[in-house]
A and B are shown apart, each in its own frame.
Chain A
Amino acid sequence: MEFYRSHVLVCGGSPCVAAGCRAVRVEIERLVREQGLDREVRVVETGCLGPCDQGPIVVVYPEGTVYHRVNMGAAREIVAEHLVKGRPVTRLQYAGELPSVSTADDKRTDYFQIQKRIVLENVGLIDPESIEEYIARDGYLALGTALTNLRPADVIETVKRSGLRGRGGAAFPSGAKLEFTARTESDQKYIICNADEGEPGTFKDRLILEGDPHKVIEGMIIMGYAVGATHGYIYIRGEYYISIERIERAIRQARWLGLLGANLFGSGFNFDIEVKKGAGAYVCGEETALIESIEGKRGIPRRKPPYPGTSGLWGKPTVVNNVETIANIPPIILNGADWYRGFGTSTSPGTKVFTLTGNVNNRGLIEVPMGITLREVIYGIGGGIPDGRSFKMAQTGGTAGGCLAEAHLDMPMDYESMQSAGSALGSGALLIIDDSHCIVDVACSLLHFFAHESCGQCTPCREGTTRLVQIFDKLRQFRATQADLDLAMELATVMLRSSLCALGQSVVVPLGTIMQHFEGEIQAHLHGKCSVGLCHGACDCAEGRPAENV
Chain B
Amino acid sequence: MKSLDDLKKIKERAQAMTELREGKEDVRIVVGMGTCGIAAGARDTLAAIMDEINARSLRHVVVTQAGCIGMCESEPIVDVIRQGEPKVTYGRVTPDKARQIIASHVVNGQVVGNFVISLK
Contact = CB atoms under 8 A, between A and B. Distances in A.
Most buried by B among A3, A63, A257: A3
B14 A104 contact: no
B20 A136 contact: no
Given A5-B46, A102-B22, A136 B1 contact: no
B66 interface: yes
Nearest to A126: B18
B15 A259 contact: no
B14 A86 contact: no
A257 B34 contact: no
A132 B10 contact: yes
Given A144-B7, A148-B3, A132 B17 contact: yes
A62 B13 contact: no
A102 B58 CA distance: 21
Contacts of B64: 5-6, 62-63, 86
A64 interface: yes
Contacts of B67: 85-87
B23 A102 contact: yes
Contacts of B72: none
A274 to B, nearest CB: 20
A258 B24 CA distance: 31
Most buried by B among A2, A39, A40: A40
**How many A residues are at the interface, by size bracket?**
35 or more
A136 B18 contact: yes
Contacts of A87: 67
B65 interface: yes
Interface in B57-81: 57-58, 62-67
A516 B14 CA distance: 55
A136 B15 contact: yes
A88 B58 CA distance: 26
**How many B residues are at the interface, by size bracket?**
35 or more
A86 B65 contact: yes
Contacts of B22: 102, 125
B23 A104 contact: yes
Given A125-B21, A135-B7, A85 B33 contact: yes
Nearest to A144: B4
Interface of A: 1-7, 9, 36, 39-40, 61-64, 84-87, 102-104, 106, 125-126, 132-133, 135-138, 140-141, 144-145, 148, 257-259, 264-266
Given A4-B50, A6-B63, A266-B3, 8 more contacts: A3-B58, A5-B63, A84-B33, A102-B22, A132-B10, A138-B11, A141-B7, A148-B4
Interface string B85-107: 00000000000000000000000
A161 B70 CA distance: 62
Given A62-B20, A104-B25, A40 B14 contact: no
A87 to B, nearest CB: 6
17 contacts: A1-B16, A5-B63, A5-B64, A39-B47, A63-B64, A64-B23, A103-B23, A125-B18, A125-B21, A132-B17, A135-B7, A141-B4, A144-B1, A148-B3, A257-B10, A264-B1, A265-B3
Contacts, number: 112
A193 to B, nearest CB: 21
Nearest to B13: A1
A132 B23 CA distance: 19
Contact of A86 (B3, B33, B54): B33
A200 B4 CA distance: 42
A9 B33 CA distance: 22
Contacts of B47: 39-40
Contacts of B21: 7, 9, 61-62, 64, 102, 125
A3 B54 contact: yes
A85 B67 CA distance: 7
A416 to B, nearest CB: 36
A4 B2 contact: no
A2 B17 CA distance: 7
A135 B23 contact: no
A379 to B, nearest CB: 29
Contacts of A61: 20-21
Contact of B50 (A5, A63, A106, A135): A5
Given A7-B21, A265-B3, A104 B15 contact: no
A117 B16 CA distance: 22
B27 to A, nearest CB: 11
Nearest to A40: B50
Nearest to B28: A104
The 3 closest A-B pairs by CB, nearest first: A86-B65, A136-B14, A5-B63
A61 B22 CA distance: 9
Contacts of B112: none
A403 to B, nearest CB: 40
A40 B49 CA distance: 11
Contacts of B65: 85-86
